[in-house]
Structure 1
Amino acid sequence: MSDFDHFGSSDEENAEIKKLQAEVDTDPDNFEHWEKLVRACEGLEGGLNRNSSPQALGTLRDAYDRFLLKFPLLFGYWKKYADLEFNIAGPESAEMVYERGCASITNSVDLWTDYCSFKMETTHVPHLVREWSAFLPLNITITTACLIGRSRPRTSDTLAMPTASPSIRRLFERGATCVGLDFLAHPFWDKYIEYEERQEAQDKIFAILSRVIHIPMHQYARYFERFRQLSHSRPVTELVPAETLDSFKAEVEAEAAQYAGVQRTELEVERDIRTKIDAMYYEYFTQTQNETNKRWTYESEVKRPYFHVTELENPQLVNWRKYLDFEESEGNFTRTVFLYERCLVTCAFYDEFWFRYARWMSAQEDKEEEVRIIYQRAATLFVPISRPGIRLQWAYFEESCGRIDIARDIHAAILMGLPDCIEAITSWAHLQRRQSGLDAAIEVFKAQIDSPQVDIFTKAALVTEWASFLWKVKGSTEEARNVFLKNVQWYADSRIFWDRWLEFELQQATSTEVEDQHAERVKQIFDELRSKSRLSASTKKDLYHIYLSYLQQRGGKDAMKQFLAIDREIYGPGSISVLAKAKSGKENGVGGGELDDTTRHRAEARYLKYYELPNEPDAEGQGTAPFN
């Protein structure tokens, strides 16, 4: 939020800005709240300009900075912000916004095209473009007027401008690296060619076209046609590398030798060489045409190639999956990375594509840092903390790389936002067990169980995980059993607690000699369930189904007496069902009443680890695809 108490406008507008900022702070994921705030800031003082108050300008910049930090892939707003800065503070400020925008959404054809167009229109000294971080101290401010000789630099004027300033061509080359392979990159390449036309640099235009004709894109044929026309006027030495030219010369000479005694002029020799060169480039055109047609199958189905906060249609996700499958099968690393980056603009809020990108990248050689950056981008910018799976995967990756402290910090960061995340707490405990031993893992459980920030139903699940550690890792069945027995009084309303306790006892090894003791322990669980738990009748019936199966499969001679008694008391009509009487509070020795709906939902919720969730997308799905 802006640090200003007043926003440089009327009291009414100040109140409106404060209200909108409060709405944004309360619900920062609400895109409409942000849009309203930005529009309101733009309208301060009747519309902001160079003469607006510093408070109003500061409020506008604060709103845009926060908005684009939250949603960095909105290329249209970066362009709008740059235009505002140009009108308010001049080209230097606008350029800084463009740089930030192109760093935030590196593969936006529109933004790079706008940036290069902006530099073409605002740089009046040929080839001059400033790179602030490389040349200027932070306390120096130099305007465009300074650079074209209309005024002097402010401050001490002791800094000389560098003699080897990067050129607009360098800016275009940066853009070509970032967006040149895009299927719809023709606006960018057209702008690059337009710039070279202004410089009357036919050699540069030809060099650009000689690159573009190899790129599968929507308007590939138009570029090839212009390339062929221009090639007729270029020296033959510019058309192909020297070794290729020598090879064609040798072929022409060999063909001429077959006609002994016929002297060929240099013009005729060059004509034949050009014919061979033209045939070679036509082969390139055919290859590009084939590659374009392959991709058109998928490109034609991309209905939303830009980022938005709304969900995509299921067929769109299916198309992206198939497109990625295709590009991966082609085996070109650069093109595959480029397609993943395009996909993750459109599908930024879908975890599955971040997981897929990281997994694919990790399968390539020597790409540890690239994988790390993928996880960082997903976790810090796009996937909300409410879906912690990608963050946990990042932690496992860092642990695998020996960066144990980083893995611990990632777990701690998750729990700062999700103190009740059972999966994150359990994962942290396992991390401690792997790296520091069982006692360190148990300390994690104890600390979280004792924490007042942790919900009682989360604590119930953690108690069962603690017991599982004692049983499966330490090998102490009795210690694990005591954990359940001592804690049933606190967590009798948790479905997870009963599920895990029952699972624990049913998986204990038995023999004929101790089967009666085992049966008594199982029976004790259900006696406790009946007398202490306020879970819903339907949940208790689900649990009792397990007991009935146990009596059938492992019960003794009198097991069917118990079976029928339970069947009558649990599944019988309301007049004889102990569950019905417990609900009305008429049965002594039975858990009194039931939980309210909100509490019951939490008490009976089960949690799955993120890698246990369905991984196979629905190829036949229709309608919108939820982010989670």
Structure 2
Amino acid sequence: MAKTEPVGENIATDNRTDPDDDTEKTDTEPEIKSDVEIPEKTERQLELEKYWKTVRDNPTDFTGWTYLLQFVEQENIPEEARGAYEAFFQHYPYCYGYWKKYADLERRHGNLDLSIEVFEKGLRAIPLSVELWIHYLNFFQEEFGSTEKGIVKTRNLHERAIAAAGTDFRSDKLWDTYIAWEVNPVKVTAIYDRLLTIPTQLYSHHFENFKKHVTNHHPKEILSLDDFFKMRREVVAKAPTPDGEEEVPEDGPPPVIGPAPEELPPGMEREGTSDRDEVQMLRHKMIQARESVHKSTESEVSKRWAFEEGIKRPYFHVKPLERTQLKNWREYLDYEIQQGLHERVVVLFERCMIACCLYEDFWMKYAKYMEEHSHEAVRNVYRRACNIHLPKKPYIHMAWAAFEERQGNHDAAWEVLSNLEKSVPGLVMVSMRRISLERRKGNMEDCEQLFKYYIENAGTTEVMTFFCIKYARYLFKIKGDTEGARAVLHAAIAKDKSNEKLYLQLLDLEYQCRPINEDRVNELFGLMMINPDFSNDLKVKMSRRQLEFLEDFGSNIHKIKECYDEHQKLLKEVHNEKKRKHHDGSSNEPSEKRSKMDLASNGSGDGATSAAAAQTASNEPHAVYNYGHWPGYSSTSSYYPHHWGYSSQYYP
């Protein structure tokens, strides 16, 4: 897109006047004049900018890109088209059709060198694209293939194409193009010898064409002299003679192969009659020698045929693939990996990536396989996946960072995670991975700075609380800074008073102190019990836990009794609240459960009986120690309910 040059240097922007000028000065601003006129944008330029704005605002809008490319193609202005195509291929390099259009555009404008450059870029991006190779070969042959030097270059280009894509199951068209172009029969035979060993879709078609090739040429025309004489010696040595093993009839002529030739004086034979039988034997031997190869190839094709039939979309498209096709690709890859032929596995992975490049699991499967062969190849797989196809997918980036860290490349791992955080800000798991990377490197100061940065810049209170808990654990467990961890949690509670996880984390910290501080723990329990944001159910659980703590670690029996009485009052409040909701019809419990509760409370007579019993139990001196009288107490699990939000590593 054309850009207007800045013109600020040519505009008079001050009010200076000539000192010798005697004209009356006024307070009005002088008229600003410019020597350069800013050209108005044409309607076409404005339309082009609209197309560009769409893809800049959303680079993943594939349809928006197609509209932009259609527009620049119609306008036929090379400069604008180059910018659009180059930007498009930064996001979608597997679209071979647009590489062809780009190269044709340069060719129409006579830029043959640029057209070749486009083809080379496209084939570096998708070396398995048979269609793009064929288009490139036709272009090269038409433009440069008429000279002797051009023929050599075209042959070399065919060899490059075969080396890159010739083992693809659907590369038959490429092989046929090479054979049709090659005029040297000996070289054609050599091409067939390579082709017949490769399992391709049209393997039988190629074998039939080879037999026609042998039939239509004299053996010495399609074999090198060394191969021809070697094969001829073998054929002649096996031919029957009068002195051979076969019996010669006494009254008959010597045996011959085929019909007896018409005898002519030496030197007067018609062309081809003197060695007709020998030629037939040579042809037969050539075909027979390749029969076993053909059978072996046929067997390999049959093993893969079902997988190939399941591939309905071998090309790239932004539309999701059906689950059956994804499943087929996974099973096909597993089969090839099991076969153990590395070259075929890599080719199949590359084919798979063209169709499945928007799926993380296929890239990660590819990288995992390549780890056994080449670390640089693994890095290349991750680089293509993260930088081109999946720039906003976190798991593939994190896998790449982990790979680099395993290789000792901490700087590379840091760069991967930093780039991901810029592309997709606000991912907590990425932030924690960056912190953990610094911790594993031993950079404790940088680790703490990152914790503080994420706490201060947290987007929500919930995220801030998460990082505070992680930071407190780090300070307590890694650095042994109990006071620092306690301060972090208290500061977080001041900002997020209703978050029970902070209290539980602080409680866990106090429990693990050596020796345990009874006053601090009781103070914390007290804060939770008076917190108006906590539900009564949670308070009941905390009350039970406080009772257990006092029983295990408390030094004052009166405090235990006082806590127990408070616990009983809380239970009664919860019971009355549930009963009130039940009578009001606002209970969310199922009707069957409510019926059972009614029977439990009313089935034994007066409802006051259970309350009186509870009161009596609370007044008995031994009730403090009688765990069986504690409501809800049955096992250790009563004190460590799973829904507290603690993981099993703290409270199994």
Does TM, scored on the shorter chain, surpass 0.5? yes
Q: TM-score, normalised by structure 1?
A: 0.71
CA distance in 1, matches of 2:442, 2:210: 65
- Matched-pair contact (CA < 8 Å) for 1:510–1:518: no
- Matched-pair contact (CA < 8 Å) for 1:302–1:316: yes
Corresponding residue for residue 38 of structure 1? 69
Residue 562 to residue 99, structure 1, CA distance change in 2 (3 Å) = farther
The code of the aligned residue for 1:368 comes to H
SS of 2:134's partner is helix
- Matched-pair contact (CA < 8 Å) for 2:55–2:65: yes
Q: Does 1:202 find its partner at 2:185?
A: yes
What's the CA shift for 1:485? Answer: 1.9
What's the CA shift for 1:393? Answer: 1.6
Corresponding residue for residue 72 of structure 1? 93
Report Cα offsets for 1:315-351 as digits up to 9, x if no partner: 1110100000111011100000000001011000100
What's the CA shift for 1:473? Answer: 2.4
Q: Does 1:407 find its partner at 2:413?
A: yes
Q: Does 1:374 find its partner at 2:361?
A: no
CA distance in 1, matches of 2:527, 2:227: 85
- Matched-pair contact (CA < 8 Å) for 1:240–1:277: no
Corresponding residue for residue 416 of structure 1? 422
CA distance in 2, matches of 1:405, 1:470: 25
Corresponding residue for residue 626 of structure 2? none
Q: Does 1:189 find its partner at 2:196?
A: no
Q: Does 1:502 find its partner at 2:488?
A: no
What's the CA shift for 1:255? Answer: 9.3
Q: TM-score, normalised by structure 2?
A: 0.68
What's the CA shift for 1:415? Answer: 2.0
CA distance in 2, matches of 1:564, 1:32: 63
The code of the aligned residue for 2:417 comes to H
CA distance in 2, matches of 1:228, 1:500: 81
Q: Does 1:309 find its partner at 2:318?
A: yes
Residue 280 to residue 13, structure 1, CA distance change in 2 (3 Å) = same
- Matched-pair contact (CA < 8 Å) for 2:100–2:135: yes
The code of the aligned residue for 2:348 comes to L
- Matched-pair contact (CA < 8 Å) for 1:464–1:500: yes
SS of 2:199's partner is coil
- Matched-pair contact (CA < 8 Å) for 1:420–1:455: no
Residue 565 to residue 493, structure 1, CA distance change in 2 (3 Å) = same
Corresponding residue for residue 144 of structure 1? none
Q: Does 1:229 find its partner at 2:260?
A: no
Corresponding residue for residue 622 of structure 2? none
Match of 1:388 among 388, 391, 394: 394
CA distance in 2, matches of 1:178, 1:472: 55
SS of 1:167's partner is helix
CA distance in 2, matches of 1:113, 1:27: 34
What's the CA shift for 1:300? Answer: 0.4
Report Cα offsets for 1:184-220 as digits up to 9, x if no partner: 1122112112221xxx221222221111111111111
Report Cα offsets for 1:452-505 as digits up to 9, x if no partner: 8x55544332222212222332344554343222212234577xxx54763674
Residue 491 to residue 29, structure 1, CA distance change in 2 (3 Å) = farther
Match of 1:485 among 458, 483, 490: 490
Residue 9 to residue 568, structure 1, CA distance change in 2 (3 Å) = farther
Unaligned runs of 5+ in 2: 6-38, 249-253, 258-273, 552-559, 588-644, 646-652
- Kindly report which structure 2 residues correspond to 1:583-598, keeping only aligned pairs within 5 A, or say none: none
What's the CA shift for 1:308? Answer: 0.9
Corresponding residue for residue 160 of structure 2? 174
Report Cα offsets for 1:239-297 as digits up to 9, x if no partner: 69979997996798589797289999996788667655533311111111111111111
Corresponding residue for residue 330 of structure 1? 339
What's the CA shift for 1:305? Answer: 0.5
Residue 435 to residue 167, structure 1, CA distance change in 2 (3 Å) = same
The code of the aligned residue for 1:22 comes to K
The code of the aligned residue for 2:201 comes to H
Q: Does 1:24 find its partner at 2:26?
A: no
- Matched-pair contact (CA < 8 Å) for 1:304–1:346: yes
Percent sequence identity over aligned pairs: 27
CA distance in 2, matches of 1:166, 1:562: 98
Match of 1:220 among 198, 203, 215: 203
- Matched-pair contact (CA < 8 Å) for 1:324–1:340: yes
Residue 125 to residue 571, structure 1, CA distance change in 2 (3 Å) = farther
Which range is displaced more, 289-298 or 261-270? 261-270
CA distance in 2, matches of 1:38, 1:16: 13
What's the CA shift for 1:121? Answer: 1.6
Corresponding residue for residue 115 of structure 2? 94
Unaligned runs of 5+ in 1: 49-55, 130-164, 581-605, 607-628
Residue 112 to residue 487, structure 1, CA distance change in 2 (3 Å) = same
What's the CA shift for 1:516? Answer: 7.2
Residue 377 to residue 278, structure 1, CA distance change in 2 (3 Å) = same
- Kindly report which structure 2 residues correspond to 1:45-194, keeping only aligned pairs within 5 A, or say none: 48=76, 56-126=77-147, 128=149, 167-194=153-180
Which is higher, the Rg of structure 1 or of structure 2?
Answer: 2
Residue 295 to residue 569, structure 1, CA distance change in 2 (3 Å) = farther
Corresponding residue for residue 293 of structure 1? 302
What's the CA shift for 1:91? Answer: 2.7
CA distance in 1, matches of 2:201, 2:330: 21
CA distance in 1, matches of 2:124, 2:111: 21
